[in-house]
Structure 1
Amino acid sequence: MKPIENDAVAQTFEAYPQKIRRKLLVLRQLIFDTAASTDGVGEIEETLKWGEPAYLTSRSKSGSTIRLGWKKSSPAQYGIYFHCQTNLIASFRTAFQDDFKFEGNRCIYFEENDVVPVDVLELCIAVALTYHRRKTGPQAG
């Protein structure tokens, strides 16, 4: 597991309930592993956005921000958030409607006892981490 180097991010994870924290840390690691195995993504910056752990392709600028979150108002749910002004969730909803539960145009969410379809989620993460590259690359138009 990649150590958390940002103190504010570490404190945010520590504030989550233990069972949810473990689930979010697995998603966090999946983001880093996917970035490492996806051409052109490069180093991931880990920071806070809207008080939640966020993952950015600051150096390569290849992708859209991904956030991880949990809300006290829905204590048994946690989610992976994508930028709401992209078509990412709409694409994921079309391609993977039987694999995930969605919240609006920004989130794939899970119940704390769900089995996360890691292989499919990894594809979604890779698409988000290369969103800008695909949008402006040779195949755009």
Structure 2
Amino acid sequence: MRPAPPIPDDIQAALNVLPDAARPVLFRLREAIFEVASTIQNVGQVTETLKWGQPSYAVATGTPLRLGITKTGVPAIFVHCQTTIVADARLALEPDLSFEGNRAVLVPQDRAFPDAALRQVIHSALTYRSRR
């Protein structure tokens, strides 16, 4: 696995305005996205940009992932609401993960970081188009 590249200034600035408690989780999720992408054959390069003020991660074979916090301040991975990413994860990974509607995978800070489950969600999103 390759480590995540240095954080671009605009991404760092977007993360810096979020609550102190959420930032370490979001940095860890960012690292996981790049690490998972490096293990998938033919996924291509991860494009890191800001979408709606949130860090967004896209590859040609998948659907974009965004990192942020919910309205209640819980760190989350957001996906396009018309994909089946959250529904599939809910079936396979609940109760390891929590969800908000059909667009967010929540990462509560009051329990252990669910690394393996989150990596499954990330993998699913990064390969979403290639599986269709």
TM-score normalized by the length of structure 1: 0.85
The alignment partner of 1:19 has SS state of coil
The alignment partner of 2:43 has SS state of coil
Letter of the structure 2 residue corresponding to residue 2 of structure 1: P
Unaligned stretches of 5+ in structure 1?
A: 136-141
Q: How many residues align?
A: 129
The alignment partner of 1:85 has SS state of coil
Residue 40 of structure 1: how far off its partner (Å):
1.6
Partner in structure 1 of residue 55 of structure 2: 53
Larger radius of gyration: 1
Aligned pair 1:2/2:5, yes or no? yes
Partner in structure 1 of residue 85 of structure 2: 88
TM-score normalized by the length of structure 2: 0.91
Q: Quote the sequence identity (%).
A: 36
Task: Select which of 18, 21, 36 maps to 1:19.
Answer: 21
1:1-141 equivalences under 5 Å are 2-5=5-8, 7-57=9-59, 61-71=60-70, 73-75=71-73, 77-135=74-132
**Alpha-carbon RMSD:** 1.3
The alignment partner of 1:18 has SS state of coil
| Greater CA drift, 42-51 or 113-122 | 113-122
Deviations 1:94-127 (A, max 9, x none): 1111111110001111222331211121111111
The alignment partner of 1:31 has SS state of helix
Partner in structure 2 of residue 138 of structure 1: none
Letter of the structure 1 residue corresponding to residue 7 of structure 2: I
Letter of the structure 1 residue corresponding to residue 52 of structure 2: W
Letter of the structure 2 residue corresponding to residue 11 of structure 1: A
User: Within 2, Cα distance between the matches of 1:19 and 1:2?
Assistant: 23
User: Within 1, Cα distance between the matches of 2:38 and 2:13?
Assistant: 25
User: Within 2, Cα distance between the matches of 1:128 and 1:99?
Assistant: 18
- Tell me which stretches of 4 or more aligned residues in structure 1 moved more than 6 Å: none
Letter of the structure 2 residue corresponding to residue 3 of structure 1: P
